[in-house]
């Protein structure tokens, strides 16, 4: 059954990551990277900090719970309750139904040196090269539009049909393309998903649907729309070791709320600025409050939800460390400081797991 309402956590909102975990969709990754570069003096307000710290606390409860208990936490209505996503497998057919196209991906963007993260990747044993260069990194760009769909009125030189004019049919209903896109790298061998550039359909319509006020009702959006679902499909595609997910990297984070949460977390540790790898480490036990705020941020929520929705395939996984770093390239004169986040994933320790139903610890 398709469950399209949202559960748990007060303050449910339509903004990125303000929605926490229904049984069938991932809601934390409707983020769009348009806010600006890292500013160490732009601190989260008490309200923003508390909101995301509570989300992080909630995610930790979901990590430790078995699927049925996690389903109760998110008030799932299935019998028995479950947090499991309805989107499973490589979702090739589902992507086609919901108008997701495999678009051009610049292979330079799966090379760690071009991402300015070679030192970090080498330090933690991740491949730094693309598959085409005998490495293990494979880049993907999925767009909610067809970049090869030509405008018949474009003239002799051609051109892509305007996104809002690109329609598709699901059942009796005609939908418009939104222009949403997810650009990311998957390394199944070493256990990595790296998000490079993200704009959810919900956010993309603000740009591509300006002629109709730049807004969309939930019914106008594709059912398959969240990055954690689409990235999951590429993680499992042809993967003989699905449980090997160890790292989620968010490259060049400029999401507005996350860019306020990180400076406050750094300030709490008396760290004045970003530094290159290993940067600043936030540990779930040593820095519990800051850690919760980071995994509860819009950026952290993407991977937190993915782990919580795929216990059947992954087992009980948790984020247990977050490294916040910059890179040497962006520290050079006249360059903006780039922020990158490394979320380290492991099996939930046996003494922390709980097979029994648990109470919702988040308001």
Q: DSSP assignment of 248-299, as one string?
A: EEE-S---HHHHHHHHHHHHHTT--S--STT-EEEETTTSHHHHHHHHTSHH
Q: What's the domain range around 287?
A: 46-347
Flag whether 141 is in a domain.
yes
pLDDT above 60: residue 342? yes
pLDDT above 90: residue 135? yes
Residue 177, pLDDT score: 98
Cα torsion 212, 218, 56, 64 to 10°: value is -150
What's the whole-number mean pLDDT along residues 308-325?
A: 98
The CA distance from 296 to 290, in Å, is 10
- Residue 225 CB partners (closer than 8 Å, separation 6+): 25, 30, 98, 144, 180, 200, 201, 202
The CA distance from 159 to 28, in Å, is 34
| Residue 346: count of CB within 10 angstroms of its CB | 12
Please state the pTM of the whole predicted model: 0.88
What's the whole-number mean pLDDT along residues 352-361?
A: 48
Lowest-confidence region among 149-158, 166-175, 256-265: 149-158
The CA distance from 220 to 223, in Å, is 9
β-pair type (167-170, 173-176):
antiparallel
Q: 331 vs 10, which has greater pLDDT?
A: 331
Q: Output the CA–CA distances (angstroms, integers) from residue 355 to 132, 150, 217, 316, 352, in the order listed.
A: 44, 54, 38, 11, 10
- Residue 49 CB partners (closer than 8 Å, separation 6+): 261, 264, 293
DSSP state at residue 32: B
Residue 155, pLDDT score: 78
As a whole number, the mean pLDDT across the chain is 89
Is residue 319 very low, low, confident or very high in pLDDT (cuts 50, 70, 90)? very high
Lowest-confidence region among 3-17, 18-32, 117-131: 3-17
Lowest-confidence region among 219-223, 285-289, 348-352: 348-352
Q: 176 vs 26, which has greater pLDDT?
A: 176
Flag whether 251 is in a domain.
yes
- Residue 158 CB partners (closer than 8 Å, separation 6+): 150, 151
pLDDT above 60: residue 37? yes
pLDDT above 90: residue 33? no
What's the whole-number mean pLDDT along residues 325-331?
A: 93
Q: What is the H or E stretch that residue 138 is in? A: strand 138-143
Rounded percentage of the chain residues whose pLDDT exceeds 90: 81
What's the whole-number mean pLDDT along residues 247-271?
A: 97
Residue 353, pLDDT score: 64
Residue with token string 């299935």: 78
Q: What is the H or E stretch that residue 94 is in? A: helix 92-97
Q: Phi first, then psi: give them for residue 77, nearest 5 degrees.
A: -100, 0
Provide the H-helix boundaries in 16-80. Answer: 46-64, 67-73
Residue 36, pLDDT score: 53
- Give 5-16 pLDDT, tens digit per residue: 333 332 333 233
Number of domains in the chain: 1
Flag whether 27 is in a domain.
no
pLDDT above 60: residue 74? yes
What's the whole-number mean pLDDT along residues 119-124?
A: 98
Flag whether 16 is in a domain.
no
Flag whether 65 is in a domain.
yes
What's the whole-number mean pLDDT along residues 85-108?
A: 97
- Give 211-253 pLDDT, tens digit per residue: 999 999 999 999 999 999 999 999 999 999 999 999 999 999 9
What is the Cα gyration radius of the chain?
20
């Amino acid at each position: 059954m398709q469950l399209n309402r949202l559960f748990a956590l007060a303050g449910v909102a339509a903004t990125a990551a303000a929605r926490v975990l229904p049984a069938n969709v991932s809601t934390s990754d409707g983020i769009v990277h348009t806010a600006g570069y890292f500013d160490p003096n732009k601190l989260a307000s008490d309200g923003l900090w508390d909101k995301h710290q509570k989300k992080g606390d909630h995610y930790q409860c979901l990590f430790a719970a078995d699927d049925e208990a996690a389903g109760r936490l998110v008030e799932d209505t299935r019998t028995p309750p479950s947090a499991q996503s309805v989107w499973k497998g490589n979702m090739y057919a589902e992507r086609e139904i919901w108008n997701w196209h495999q678009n051009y991906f610049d292979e330079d963007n799966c090379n760690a040196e071009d991402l300015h993260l070679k030192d970090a990747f080498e330090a933690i044993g991740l491949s730094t090269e693309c598959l085409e260069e005998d490495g293990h990194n494979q880049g993907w760009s999925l767009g909610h539009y067809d970049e090869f769909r030509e405008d018949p009125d474009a003239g002799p030189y051609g051109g892509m049909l305007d996104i809002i004019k690109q329609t598709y049919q699901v059942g009796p209903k005609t939908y418009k393309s939104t222009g949403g896109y997810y650009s990311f790298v998957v390394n199944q061998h070493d256990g990595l998903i790296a998000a490079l550039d993200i704009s959810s359909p919900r956010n993309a319509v603000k740009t591509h649907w300006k002629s109709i006020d730049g807004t969309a009702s939930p019914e106008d959006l594709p059912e398959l729309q969240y990055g954690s679902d689409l990235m999951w499909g590429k993680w499992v595609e042809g993967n003989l070791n699905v449980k090997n997910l160890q790292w989620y990297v968010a490259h060049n984070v400029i999401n507005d709320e996350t860019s306020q949460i990180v400076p406050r977390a750094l300030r709490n540790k008396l760290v004045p600025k970003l530094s290159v790898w290993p940067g600043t480490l936030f540990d779930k036990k040593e820095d519990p409050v800051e850690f919760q705020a980071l995994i509860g941020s819009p950026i952290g929520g993407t991977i937190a939800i993915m782990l919580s929705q795929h216990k059947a395939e992954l087992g009980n996984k948790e984020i247990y460390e977050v490294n916040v770093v910059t890179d040497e390239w962006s520290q050079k004169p006249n360059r903006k400081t780039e922020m990158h986040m490394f979320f380290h994933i492991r099996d939930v320790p046996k003494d922390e797991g709980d097979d029994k139903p648990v109470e919702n610890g988040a308001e």
